[in-house]
Amino acid sequence: MLAEAGIVLTRAERENVEIADFGLGRLEEIGLQIVVYVNTDRVCAKELVLFPNQHCPEHRHPPVAGEPGKEETFRVRRGTVHLHVAGAGDILLGPGDQYTIPPDTLHSFEAGDEGAIVSEFSTTSRDALDVFTDSRIIRVPS
């Protein structure tokens, strides 16, 4: 999907795509494929790839060490994304559309029928600290 969209990865990136199934074992329905470009102690950038109708379950990024929690902007590159943000409702994003999710705010999202590619621009990612509403979820399974 990334190659079709003209997004070039290095070999190391292609061999290290993160496959997140949230410990549920139902990847095609509930999951996310992630390429992390950079994640420093200040800035993070990723490409998120979603299969058709694949869903990322509701979660929030809590405050850490006196900082307000991860702030993330989702910019849709291909496909459509249905984004749900607590206090803001349902937001439909197509190619070129973007939305900034404030820190510590519950959100979930799923791709439309054609799947989606989303660029994520954010503060530091500390995925293991994400708080999911569904307590069965393990963000970073061992």
- Footprint of a second copy (CB under 8 A): 5-10, 13, 37-38, 40, 42-45, 71, 73, 75, 77, 95-98, 100, 119, 121-123
Q: Which is nearer to a second copy, 7 or 24 (by Cβ)?
A: 7
Q: Which is nearer to a second copy, 8 or 128 (by Cβ)?
A: 8
Are β-strands 89-93 and 131-132 bridged in parallel, bridged antiparallel, or unpaired? unpaired
Q: Read out DSSP for 49-90?
A: EE-TT-EEEEEE---BTTB----EEEEEEEEEEEEEETTTEE
Tokens of 43: 């800035």
Q: How far apart are CB 134 and a second copy at their closest, in Å?
A: 28
Q: How far apart are CB 15 and a second copy at their closest, in Å?
A: 13
